[in-house]
Amino acid sequence: MRNAFEPGLPTRGTKVPAGRDWIHEIKRDGYRLIAQRDGARVRLFNPQNGHDWTARYPRIVEAALRNRTTSFVIDGEAVLLGVDGTSDFIGLYSRRHDDEVKLYAFDVLALDGDDLRKMPLHLRKTNLARLLARRPEGIFVSEFEQGEIGPDLFRQACNFGLEGWSPSAAIDLTAPAGRLIGSR
């Protein structure tokens, strides 16, 4: 089943963007998820295939229900962290630790019934930070940096063996997801 809030998906880039109008985020190795809350109902689904994963990740559902805001749509990555603090995709894929999976949110697509997708990304990130300010265990704001740090961040992603990172135009009105720059 498809949803009206399908996010844009990252595309592979070949050049590291530089400039102050870029937002840079580490790409964690997990599953892309949309978390949609409407009152007492929470639905988690994969935007690529529409599969409902609500029962699969109870920690994320509980965190969404604990939030004081009762209507939102969050775009993020379902991630299992290993003992070293990095993404453990093999553990995530195994399904043995579904109750430990967290959502790293990088965008809010709707809030209190308002569609935010036409807002600039930096404003949506501000709304996302406010929505998750009380840090409900299970949903976290994915850290990001804005500015001319693209080349430095790329080098660090390579040094740490990360999957990559996603730069996005901070003022782009039509890009809920960025370009994926691989590091491995």
The residue ranges of every structural domain in the chain are 11-28+144-184, 29-141
pTM: 0.77
Strands (E), 30-116: 31-38, 41-45, 71-79, 102-111, 114-115
CATH architecture classification, 29-141: 2-Layer Sandwich (3.30)
State the burial class of residue 16 (Cβ atoms within 10 Å of its Cβ: 0-12, 13-18, 19+). middle
Q: What is the pLDDT of residue 48?
A: 84
Region 139-153 average pLDDT: 69
> How many Å apart are CA 180 and CA 184, to the nearest integer?
12
The dihedral through the CA atoms of 32, 48, 171, 24 has a sign that is positive
Supply the mean pLDDT for the chain: 80
Q: Where are the alpha helices (DSSP H) in the chain?
A: 58-66, 89-94, 121-131, 150-159
Q: What is the pLDDT of residue 162?
A: 60
What pLDDT digit, counting tens, does each position of 39-65 carry? 999 999 998 888 999 999 999 999 999
Region 85-92 average pLDDT: 90
pLDDT score of 4 more than 80: no
